[in-house]
């Protein structure tokens, strides 16, 4: 693995103390040498509206699209809201997929990790997001699957990752590094 790949990381939770953001940051620390993870913020994106996405789209749309387009791959770290992805993440997917025929997502190797304090670990959001990625031509890593349940105990009061979760996250991010290496479009 001689190349270094830039990874656009989209965190589905906007909360300041988001467990998902903490997991994304932990993955960035654990990432193999061939990956450079950068969180791409989605909280300030206006709701997608084709009426405002013409010759002069909102600056937030253009910035977001450029950040995703210039990345080599994408990683989604998301909670589950009502058995699906949170609205800000769905909006970001829609913004990045437009204008039609110029998707920022196309061909970028991807992976999904869902993180939830509940027992199911965000299974619904994980698979719903994968459905969208199929349409958007994002080859998603299939194994290892990543559903983190009981995530309320994943970090201590100081924000340190639990030693119990660390080996799983390491396995996931190492496999993702290999996935990106194998599936990156030249």
CA 81/CA 109 separation, integer angstroms: 25
Closest CA to 9 of 186, 180, 183: 180
Would you state the pLDDT for residue 179? 97
Local confidence band at 56 (pLDDT 50, 70, 90 cut-offs):
very high
Domain boundaries, the chain: 5-179
Q: Given CA atoms 174, 40, 22, 140 in this order, what sign does their dihedral have? A: negative
| CATH architecture designation of domain 5-179 | 3-Layer(aba) Sandwich (3.40)
pLDDT digits 0-9 by tens, 13-29: 999 889 999 999 999 99
pTM: 0.95
Which range has the worst mean pLDDT, 89-93, 94-98, 101-105, 121-125?
A: 121-125
- Cα 45 to Cα 136: distance, rounded to the nearest angstrom: 19
Cα-Cα-Cα-Cα torsion 1, 184, 6, 4, nearest 10 degrees, comes to 20
Other C-beta atoms closer than 10 Å to the C-beta of 185 total 11
Token pair 């496999």 is found at: 175
Query: Can you list the alpha helix ranges (DSSP code H) found in the chain?
Result: 19-30, 59-69, 87-96, 123-135, 166-183
């Amino acid at each position: 693995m001689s190349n270094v790949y830039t990874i656009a990381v989209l965190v589905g939770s906007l909360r300041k103390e988001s467990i998902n953001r903490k997991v994304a940051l932990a993955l960035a620390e654990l990432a193999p040498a061939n990956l450079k993870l950068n969180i791409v913020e989605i909280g300030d994106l206006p709701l997608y509206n084709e009426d405002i996405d013409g010759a002069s789209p909102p600056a937030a749309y253009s910035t977001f699209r450029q950040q995703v387009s210039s990345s080599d791959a994408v990683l989604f770290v998301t909670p589950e809201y009502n058995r699906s992805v949170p609205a800000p993440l769905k909006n970001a997917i829609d913004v990045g997929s437009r204008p039609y025929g110029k998707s920022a997502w196309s061909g970028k190797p991807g992976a999904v990790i869902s993180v939830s304090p509940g027992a199911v670990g965000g299974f619904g959001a994980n698979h719903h997001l994968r459905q969208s990625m199929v349409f958007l031509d994002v080859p998603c890593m299939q194994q290892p699957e990543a559903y983190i349940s009981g995530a309320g105990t994943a970090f201590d009061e100081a924000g340190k990752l639990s030693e119990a979760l660390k080996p799983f996250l390491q396995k996931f991010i190492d496999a993702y590094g290999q996935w990106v290496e194998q599936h990156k479009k030249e």
